Chain A
């Protein structure tokens, strides 16, 4: 059982944080790991949407979230935060972007600042999982298709028509059966059969 560190106060991240870090194997050890992540975080802040391996994306996402939350919490007059931003952003003009663009953008946000998508990969290839990492509020079109359930999409129209036709065929079959049975037993039931036949038409 360890005691929590009390000398530092941090804001809670809005993403799921795994209990252990990923090592991102590197001949330079933990320093090399941070170097890798610095490049990724810099790229993310610069381009706002990047595609990379899932492991690195998930790890870099946590650091980017922390960096932005620190920037929001302390502002640009806080020396240690500035120092941290200076360390994490390899291109120095991005420090201004962090404090002047991203902080106002995310200041009143109640959700995570970044988004991580699983990217497609070839089905039978032995490659690492890919992911797309983006800052929210970026200028690019959305990756996810929001209107997947639009019934006017061509595939939905085609499937709907196919379903309709199949039902019509079924109703007709049932109606025929009843009709035959009615003919054999009594002529009264034919009316019912007709009604049954009409019903789906109207619906």
Chain B
């Protein structure tokens, strides 16, 4: 009896039960990222098909935006990285990438690799400069190893 009523209700209501809006593609906890530098660990992780996962985003909203520092789990290790390209819709003139790109760094902000093989958004220059404090980590080293800016 109840079942039939429920089934009737469901058939009457043709809209699907889940929301169908486009997803936001935000970088949050457990998001898979793509390592775009040529660090050894990153290259191996990508080659094995085990891309790193976000386990912490170092900002207050816990949603990673461009230039944010993240903690990733990569090949059983915890590494820090900087988001250098995002899938989610960006502001005007800021490029939107087809994948969420990360460059691995150590605690001082020095990249683990010595080359980035994809383009980097130019806005990252300003963002990283702002984030660098005189006594803290120096993130601008990352810009030095970039091959191309868009």
Q: For chain A, give the interface size range.
A: under 10
Cβ-based interface call for A29 (8 A): yes
Write the B2-40 contact mask toward A (1 if CB under 8 angstroms, else 0).
Answer: 000000000110100000000000000000000000000
Once bound together, how far apart are the Cα atoms of A28 and B11, in whole Å? Answer: 9
Q: Does chain B have a CB within 8 A of A27?
A: yes
Measured in the bound complex, the distance between the Cα atoms of B12 and A27 in whole Å is: 5
| Number of interface residues, chain B, beta carbon within 8 A | 3
| Residues of A contacting B14 in the complex (Cβ-Cβ under 8 angstroms) | 27-29
Contact residues in B for A27 (Cβ distance below 8 Å): 11-12, 14
**Residue in chain B with minimal CB distance to A31:** B14
Distance A29 CA – B12 CA, assembled complex (angstroms): 9
Neighbouring A residues of B12 by C-beta, 8 Å: 27
Contact residues, A82-122 vs B (CB, 8 A): none
- Which residues of chain A come closer than 8 Å to B11, judged between CB atoms? 27
A31 CB, nearest partner CB in chain B, Å = 9
Chain A positions 14 through 41: 1 when the CB is less than 8 Å from some CB of chain B, otherwise 0: 0000000000000111000000000000
Q: How far is the CB of B60 from chain A (nearest CB, A)?
A: 31
- Docked complex Cα distance between A28 and B12 (Å): 7
Measured between beta carbons, the chain B residues less than 8 angstroms from A29 are 14
User: Shortest CB–CB separation between residue A34 and chain B, in angstroms?
Assistant: 14
A27 to B11, CA, bound (A): 8
Give Cα A27 to B9, complex, Å. 10
Instruction: Give B15's nearest chain A residue, CB to CB.
Output: A29
Q: How far is the CA of A180 from the CA of B4 in the complex (A)?
A: 91
Top 5 closest pairs, chain A to chain B, by CB: A29-B14, A27-B12, A27-B11, A28-B14, A27-B14
Question: Could you name 5 residue pairs across A and B whose Cβ atoms are closer than 8 Å?
Answer: A27-B11, A27-B12, A27-B14, A28-B14, A29-B14
